[in-house]
Structure formats: C-alpha cells, structure tokens
Structure 1
C-alpha cells in the first residue's frame, strides 16, 4: 500500500527505508497497535527485493544460523536470529499462499515472482494500518522526546525512529549510505564499509588468458582468508564471478590471493598417477577436461604444461600441473564494487546497539536494522533472513 499524502503529523514509529527490514519492522510494530509511517526516497518500495534472485527472490535459507554471518561481534546476531527463524518467515509465506521451492543448499525462492514477497509485506502492513510514502526522503532529523523530521510535504514527530535505509550496494536502486552518514552525525561508530558478495576483476595481463571463457562455469572449492566455499566459479569478461567467488569476496582483502581448488573431489596428483597405469595413452587435456571442460583444460595445458599422453608425464610434470590446479592461486586486481555488490560489509557498529531490540544504546528511541548494521550474511538467502529477524526484533520494541 502506497499513499501519496497524509493528514497525520504525529506517529508512534517512523521507519526510514521501505525495504525488507523496514517493511517487516513496520508490520510488527503496527500489529502492536503502534501508529507507523514508513518513508522511502525511491519511487517504489522493495526495489532490492524485486531484483533479487533473478526476479524470484531467494527470501530465506532453511539452514540459516549465526555461523552464516560476518560481524565484528560474532555473538550480536544470535538474539534476533533465534527469535525470528527461517521457519517463521516460511510460515508467513505460506499464510499468504505464495508458492516457493528449494533451489539448493536450503535456498528458498518464489515459484513466480519477487513481487509476491513485496505484496506479502505490504498486505501485512496494510492490515495493521501502516502508512507508506514513496518519493519521500527524510531530512532535518532532530532527536529528542519526540524525535522530529521533515518530509517533502510535511513535518513529522515520533516516539521511535528506525533507520532501515540499507547500504551502498547497487546505487542504481537508490542506495545512498544515508544511514551511515546519519549514524556518524550522532557519533555512533560506523565500521569501514566495502562491497560484499561481488565479482572479482583481474588485471589485463592475467585477464587475457581467460577472457574468452566468459560464461564458462567450473565446480570448485574456493578459499579466502581460510574460509572455504564449495560452489561453482564463473569466468566473466572482467574476471571471476559465480557463487564461490561471491562468497569469497566477503572475506577477501585487497592485495591478498584467493585459492581455487579446481578438483575438489580428487587428489589430482594421485589421480593422474592412477590413470597413467589404467589409461596410459589418454592425453592430459582430456583427463583434465573431464572436470574442467575441454576448453579450460586445453588452456591450462597451454599455460602450465604442454599436452602429453599420460605415460609421458614425469613426476615434475605432474607436480607442475597439480600446482596450477590445487590450488589455482589468483590475485584479484579488485572487485566490481558497489555497482554489482549484493551487500555492503561493515556498517553501524553493533557495540552501539542492543542485540535484543536493535536500539542505539546512547540514543533512546533510535533503532538501526538490516543492511545498515555491521551484520552481513553469506550468499543464499541469509541477508534476507537478517532483514526479517532484525526488523522483527526492532518492531517488537519500537
């Protein structure tokens, strides 16, 4: 539900940001009988929801636990996540009759469209009298009793103010970093931010070896800073993407390498030695191609070892090709940045917030939820689960 004007000027709760966390918070607070206004500067609500999951919204993950989140305080997210679980949101999805399916690894997607999730949230808000205003950026915010702020059409006062404005990721959807700037203006610590769940770029000299593979996918175990992910990588025109790369990007720091095991189910050296006995005339490229695809296998032979029948490979040859595959060590030049990042790492310091209510410790009646907080989930529905859980936590108290 979106309304163009409102005669109300006083609310119990004002929420800045009509995304996943903000709308969840609004519905929960409204169900408590609170008068709630949601403000969003965009021309429609839930833009990131609408584009997520290829338009089908990976709305949660059945296996989501605190271990699936990155935070400077690894214990912070436990309270909210334990009080609003994936099964709670699944129950809401089923209540609204939204058909869904598990894609893999516990990832749940809408059968039809991400619009079903936005409609679900708006229906929940409408049922409890929440007012939602689009194209309504908040300005001139002053905290007090009550808090006060300005919209383009009128001024507002409220008891509770909730910041659910997201991060910097995908600025074309309207992301501005408003919440970070607002927190800093109040001397609330904001931890350094950077793009997360984002493709890597390669320097031109390295890229030229793989640029013609754009669209080719390979099963791997990809590791960054000791954290490993078993998923596909995808070669792109700019470098590397795919689920394993996106996951690794959240742990990677500029100037570091990532390690990509191209044969995650094998000890490659041992496998080659066995095949030397069983299939001695098989060419190396054909053996590697059983896992890597023929094109990638041929390129690996061109780059690190000429193609030979297995019975002609020396121990040194086997060592060289194994070293290029287990792992393939890659030094990314950088990432594609916020333009394509699914999330923003870092954000409002959780030490400044209550893990139970999401309220700022030094500013009564001020709450931060969702992506603006220094809690970042793994790929696969976990960030939506944090949005639901943190929004629900704040909604119970705001």
Structure 2
C-alpha cells in the first residue's frame, strides 16, 4: 500500500459539484484529489438533456429550489450565477442555445461540459474506478482507503450525490457518511419522477403515449407544461415538476384547459347546441384524451341538452381534475433527490459542516433540490464554487 499523499483536500465524487469544487480549489493552489467509484467522471452530466446537457437555467433563483430551509441556497446562488457558468462555457468555445423557460443546452454534446470541467481541474488529480473502502477521521485529518490506496487530507468534501438513477452507480453513500459524522438528514425521496396511478385511475392507462399542455398542481406548487400519460401513470415536465412537491396520499390536480375563460362551455352550447362534448374537447386536446374525459363527465349527448349549471360543473372538473397517485416510479426513474444532508448542519457561505471542521457537503447530497430545467446543475456549480473557495 502506498504512503499517504500530501493533499490539502479530498473530494468524494467526480460529478458536476465535485469537479467544479476541484477546479476552483486547485486554481487557488490547493492540492486536490477527486475520487469516484464510477468508471468515468460526470456520468449524470453525460446523459442529461438527451445527451446535450441542460447545464443551467437563466431563471435560477432561491425560490425555485426545495429545502427545509428555503433561504440556505441564496448565498451560493448569488455568488455564482448562470451568467458566470455561461462565461466559462463560452471561454471554452462551447456552442449553446436557449430552449423554452430559460433552459440552456449545448449545441453539440454533453461530453463538452465534462471535458471543460476536467480542463479546469488540470491542477487536481481525478481518479475514477476507485471505490471507497473506509473513511476515518482523527479530529484533524481525514484518511480515505480507496481501491488499493490510502490517502489523507485535512479537508473532505462529500459530493457523491443522492440515490437517484442507480443504474449509473448512484447510492446513498453520502447519507451513510453524514450520519457517521453525526450530521442530520432530511428524509430523502425521489424527485422529478413519474407518478403511478392505480384503482379508479386505471382507465387513463389506455392513454399511454398521449401528451398535452396542462397546469398541474400539488403541494402548493403549480406548473404549466406538458403532461404525458404512460402505461404506469403520468409523466412529462408538468408532472415531474409537481412530483417534487407531492407527498404520498395527497392528490394532484390537473387543469386540462388552462387557457380557457369561465363560461366557455355555455358559449359553446349557445353557438353549437347540437355539438357533443368529445368533439368540443378534441378541438383543444388529443382525441383519445378528449374521449376519455368526456366519458367520465358523462354529459347528455348534445350540449343543448345540458343546463348551464351542469356545464359549469363540467368546466370546473376539467379545470381541477384530481388524481390520487399510488406512488412514484422511485429512485430508478427520478432525476434527482429531495432531502439529504440537512442544511442546518452546514454553513451557507462555505458548505462546511458546523460540527466537523474540514468536512464539506455540496451538490445533490445536500437538502437543496431545484426545478426541472437546469436548476440542479446550477446548484452543483454554485455549491461547488462555495466550497472550493473555502478549502
């Protein structure tokens, strides 16, 4: 076994947060070692955005993140903004474009972002395919047994993420390590994840593959994007967004026609009294969905045969159609994790553990979770920079 190497900091995890932290710290002259059990760095970066990496969002702000302490992310996000990361992207001549809702993507490949981060980490040592066997702390230094190596440093950064997407090697290692050092956790649960339906909602399984713009609401949050029916339940951006706010046993409400004004069905009756509800709905919704909704509402054959009161009730149901999901598709399909290492344990300026000097936690391992659309990468960059500047 080799003798301990002289490092100032050891970072566990070669994802976005860990690499950014290593880049900043090494450029400040710190001797940094990054360890990861995966065969290559940045595996979540590589699959994100359909392989083009939705690397940030121009709208990133603290109110678009979930945390037991909603103010915790404010400091890091203010000190490292989407513009700061975009400057880095442009410095490396990576072409990019903006999609809807402020989402920024590479024109080419997500591999460009990983290559950029590794180039910025040129002064650090990055070792992959290096599983952690043991972590010890004598009060002043951290000793890590990884593969056949044993290394030590006065600072240790937990950047191993959460358990979402286990097929990429994601685990709850960060939580086990935090608990070992006496840090509290906020219960981790899948986020940005498809919801499953059962029982009374089984009819909608026949709509697998149908998508439509909606407003979805759960847990006090509302998102206007597309919803997609699947063979297991519901997905699509609107559903993924509200899944982060949804709790088991609660309902999810859908407005299938968010752009209509009150009284639109009364107007339709007056203009076309012989029209049927499926045909009216099919003017704004996919035909299969229109038929399924009309079947459940069960109006008399023609609009002219329904009273205004009945039509108003149908309108209200279409605007507030509630589903009670049976669950989610779990960490296997979750893009990120809500919960994690409690922010009450960390300095919001440096990300250092208050109880354990020299121990830091960043990225998805921490109880800070962004919306869909580049927000979680921005938290990875910002928290990584915060810790990198403190090491």
TM-score after normalising by structure 2 = 0.97
Which of 121, 132, 142 does residue 136 from structure 2 map onto?
Answer: 142
Structure 2 match to 1:336: 329
What's the CA shift for 1:316?
A: 4.5
Structure 1 match to 2:148: 153
What's the CA shift for 1:266?
A: 1.4
What's the CA shift for 1:6?
A: 9.1
Matched residue pairs, number? Answer: 390
Q: Output one character per residue of 1:32-64: Cα deviation in whole Å (capped at 9) or x when no partner.
A: 011111000011111111111111111000011
Two-structure CA RMSD over aligned residues (Å): 1.5
Pair 1:185-2:185 in alignment = no
Moved more, 297-306 or 107-116: 297-306
Which of 370, 379, 383 does residue 377 from structure 1 map onto?
Answer: 370
Structure 2 match to 1:96: 92
Pair 1:165-2:168 in alignment = no
Structure 1 match to 2:235: 241
Structure 2 match to 1:201: 196
What's the CA shift for 1:9?
A: 1.6
What's the CA shift for 1:7?
A: 8.5
| 8 Å contact kept, 1:102–1:108 | yes
What's the CA shift for 1:307?
A: 6.2
TM-score after normalising by structure 1 = 0.95
The verdict on how the C-alpha distance between 1:6 and 1:59 changes in structure 2, with shifts beyond 3 A counting, is: farther
Question: 2:316 and 2:61 mapped to 1: Cα distance?
Answer: 35
Pair 1:117-2:110 in alignment = no
Unmatched 5+ residue regions in structure 2?
none
Question: 1:239 and 1:318 mapped to 2: Cα distance?
Answer: 28
Moved more, 42-51 or 278-287: 278-287
Question: 1:133 and 1:234 mapped to 2: Cα distance?
Answer: 40
| 8 Å contact kept, 1:304–1:320 | no
| 8 Å contact kept, 2:201–2:323 | no
What's the CA shift for 1:283?
A: 2.3
Question: 1:238 and 1:342 mapped to 2: Cα distance?
Answer: 17
Q: Output one character per residue of 1:99-120: Cα deviation in whole Å (capped at 9) or x when no partner.
A: 1111101000111111111111
Structure 1 match to 2:29: 33
Alignment of structure 1 residues 33-72 onto 2, 5 Å: 33-72=29-68
Structure 1 match to 2:76: 80
Structure 1 match to 2:310: 317
Structure 2 match to 1:368: 361
| 8 Å contact kept, 1:305–1:321 | no
What's the CA shift for 1:187?
A: 1.2
Structure 2 match to 1:396: 389
Question: 2:86 and 2:345 mapped to 1: Cα distance?
Answer: 31
What's the CA shift for 1:205?
A: 4.2
Pair 1:257-2:256 in alignment = no
Unmatched 5+ residue regions in structure 1?
none
Question: 1:55 and 1:175 mapped to 2: Cα distance?
Answer: 18
Structure 1 match to 2:208: 214
Question: 2:2 and 2:346 mapped to 1: Cα distance?
Answer: 32
Moved more, 14-23 or 317-326: 317-326
Name the SS of the counterpart of 2:85 in structure 1.
helix
Name the SS of the counterpart of 2:257 in structure 1.
coil
Moved more, 24-33 or 197-206: 197-206
What's the CA shift for 1:195?
A: 0.3
Name the SS of the counterpart of 1:254 in structure 2.
coil
Name the SS of the counterpart of 1:88 in structure 2.
helix
Name the SS of the counterpart of 1:292 in structure 2.
coil
| 8 Å contact kept, 1:191–1:347 | yes
What's the CA shift for 1:254?
A: 0.4
Question: 2:296 and 2:204 mapped to 1: Cα distance?
Answer: 11
What's the CA shift for 1:146?
A: 2.1
Question: 1:236 and 1:344 mapped to 2: Cα distance?
Answer: 22
Q: Output one character per residue of 1:85-130: Cα deviation in whole Å (capped at 9) or x when no partner.
A: 000000001111111111101000111111111111111112xx21
| 8 Å contact kept, 2:163–2:171 | yes
Name the SS of the counterpart of 1:132 in structure 2.
strand
What's the CA shift for 1:8?
A: 7.1
